[in-house]
Amino acid sequence: MRLLCLSLLGALLLLAQDQPIPYSHKTHLKMGLKCNECHTMPGKGEAATFPAESKCMTCHTAIKKESKHIQLLAEYAARKEPVPWVRVYKLPGFVWFSHKVHTAVVDCAQCHGNVAESEVIKKEKPITMNACMACHDEHKAPNECNFCHNPA
Ligand code: HEC
Ligand code: HEC
Ligand code: HEC
Ligand code: HEC
Ligand code: HEC
């Protein structure tokens, strides 16, 4: 019983400490920040990328600097080291995907759900092969194997 309680407690702690710093999209998007201010899509736009810590520090050198979470953020920023965010959406390496191509035709919400209302990002939408193919069917986009695996 005691062991069970301890392991349940452990699981809860793990859930609560999902990310190294409890960043909330809801809090920040309420201020009118736009997705692409933090998630730039450089080059060919395969990745949506994570913001540089210096971007956060434009506000947090002054805002909430007494918070232990902001102090941790400031330490990463001072070391010019990225915060080790835990990935929520991640494809295996053998799948080709481009953010730039998709965001030209569909919204972020189609694949990531209602991020603007989320305190903590969880996987709201599947990124399985079936999910990709269903949407390609719907939009009459190709579904040949090589389209997503080893494209020319
Ligand atoms: C102020 C900067 C900022 C803005 C604005 C912002 N994000 Fe984020 N986003 C982050 C940070 C930091 C993380 C990593 C922490 C986390 O997962 O919550 C993240 C993580 C994510 C992830 C999880 C990616 C993964 O695989 O781990 C998604 C999806 C995402 N953001 C979508 C959005 C969308 C959609 C918008 C606009 C509605 C948006 N973000 C606006 C900073 C931002
Ligand atoms: C068609 C579906 C789709 C759309 C639309 C989409 N994403 Fe993603 N997103 C994904 C997939 C799939 C991944 C995992 C990519 C990987 O691991 O290579 C991902 C990963 C991410 C990540 C993690 C970092 C990265 O680039 O791998 C962030 C941040 C993110 N998306 C933000 C956004 C934002 C912001 C938008 C809107 C501007 C958006 N996404 C639109 C499917 C989508
Ligand atoms: C436009 C200014 C602005 C930017 C940019 C910004 N924040 Fe914030 N952040 C705020 C404000 C305002 C609050 C809410 C303060 C409050 O609760 O009174 C906040 C709250 C937080 C908190 C909660 C702190 C606590 O202990 O209550 C964290 C963590 C945080 N931000 C992390 C980040 C991260 C990480 C980034 C960069 C990805 C970032 N912020 C970018 C303005 C900003
Ligand atoms: C919400 C609908 C939707 C989802 C979900 C979706 N796609 Fe797409 N995808 C499209 C559309 C529409 C196009 C065609 C865009 C165009 O014609 O410019 C496309 C185009 C592509 C392309 C071609 C890129 C290029 O360079 O032209 C690839 C590769 C691709 N998708 C892979 C994926 C993968 C992998 C997933 C799942 C992780 C996925 N897609 C999920 C709608 C979607
Ligand atoms: C629209 C994009 C897309 C197309 C088209 C596509 N795949 Fe996939 N495929 C994926 C994604 C995404 C994954 C990774 C799924 C995951 O990790 O859940 C995947 C995974 C796989 C895997 C690994 C095993 C598995 O199920 O996870 C194999 C094998 C595979 N695909 C074969 C094929 C074949 C054969 C075709 C043609 C009939 C094809 N794929 C067409 C997106 C696609």
25 CA to middle of ligand 1, Å?
Answer: 7
129 CA to middle of ligand 5, Å?
Answer: 5
pLDDT digits 0-9 by tens, 11-36 = 444 444 489 999 999 999 999 999 99
Ligand closest in space to the Cα of 149: 5
Instruction: List Cβ neighbours of 55 (8 Å cut-off, separation of 6 or more).
Output: 37, 38
CA distance 102 to 90: 16
43 CA to middle of ligand 3, Å?
Answer: 28
Backbone angles phi, psi at 138, to 5 degrees: -60, -40
Do 84 and 20 touch, CB atoms closer than 8 A?
Answer: yes
Protein residue with its CA nearest to atom 30 in ligand 1: 115
Residue 1 has pLDDT above 70, yes or no: no
CA 127 to chain centre: 13
| Ligand 2 pocket test, candidate residues 40, 111, 124, 132, most atoms within 8 A of CB | 111
Q: 80 CB less than 6 Å from ligand 2?
A: no
Rounded to two decimals, the pTM is 0.94
pLDDT digits 0-9 by tens, 50-70 = 999 999 999 999 999 999 999
Q: What percent of the chain has pLDDT over 90?
A: 86
